[in-house]
């Protein structure tokens, strides 16, 4: 989504990217990032938590209003209410690309554990 943010900024639109994966800023260079440690598929907040969603949006909007130069990443303080192991963000079955590269993914995992 960083590439899309860049395209919009090149075309005269200001952007704020609320993202769970700020690391991609190192790869792409993203104009404005509000980073949040929330699960994939629920970057704004939990289902039916209007107050929590609003807080996150207000904070991201304040980052948009305050940003003075491109490439800054502001990390929000919120902590998700579930443990990663019990957070069901995954699709019902592994995506086609994951199935295709399963052996390679397992190998990367065992290399990282060494």
Partner 1 sequence: MSLSTKTVNGFYFMPPSLSAWIGQTIPDHEFDGEIPWTPLKKPVSETVFSLMTSAGINMIADPDFDMQREKEEPTWGDPSYRRISRSATEADIHVNHLHVNTDYIKQDMNVTLPLQRFKELEADGVVGALAPTSYSYYGYQTDPTVLLEETMPRVVADMQKEGVEAVFLTPA
Q: Is 81 in the site for partner 1 (CB under 8 A)?
A: no
- Residue 42 has a CB neighbour count (10 Å cut-off) of 16
> Cβ of residue 75: shortest distance to partner 1, in angstroms?
5
> Cβ of residue 105: shortest distance to partner 1, in angstroms?
4
Q: Taking CB under 8 A as the criterion, which residues in 11-70 touch partner 1?
A: 11-31, 35-37, 39-48, 50, 53-54, 57-67, 69-70
The values of phi and psi at residue 32, to 5°, are: -140, 130
Q: Is 91 in the site for partner 1 (CB under 8 A)?
A: yes
Total count of residues recorded for the chain:
114
Q: Is 103 in the site for partner 1 (CB under 8 A)?
A: no
* Gyration radius of the chain over CA positions: 17
> Cβ of residue 102: shortest distance to partner 1, in angstroms?
9
Cα 35 to the center of its chain, rounded Å: 6
Q: How many CA atoms lie within 13 A of 78 on its CB side?
A: 26
> Cβ of residue 28: shortest distance to partner 1, in angstroms?
7
- Give the 3-state secondary structure of residue 49: coil
């Amino acid at each position: 989504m960083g590439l899309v943010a860049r395209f919009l900024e090149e075309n005269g639109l200001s952007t704020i990217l609320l993202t769970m994966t700020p690391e991609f800023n190192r790869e792409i260079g993203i104009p404005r990032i509000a980073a949040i440690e929330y699960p994939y598929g629920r970057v704004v907040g939990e289902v039916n938590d209007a107050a929590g969603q609003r807080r996150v949006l207000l904070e991201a909007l304040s980052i948009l209003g305050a940003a003075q130069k491109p490439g800054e990443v502001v990390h929000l303080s919120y902590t998700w209410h579930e443990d990663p192991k019990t957070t069901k963000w995954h699709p019902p079955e592994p995506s086609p690309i994951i199935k295709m590269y399963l052996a390679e993914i397992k190998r990367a995992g065992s290399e990282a554990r060494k």
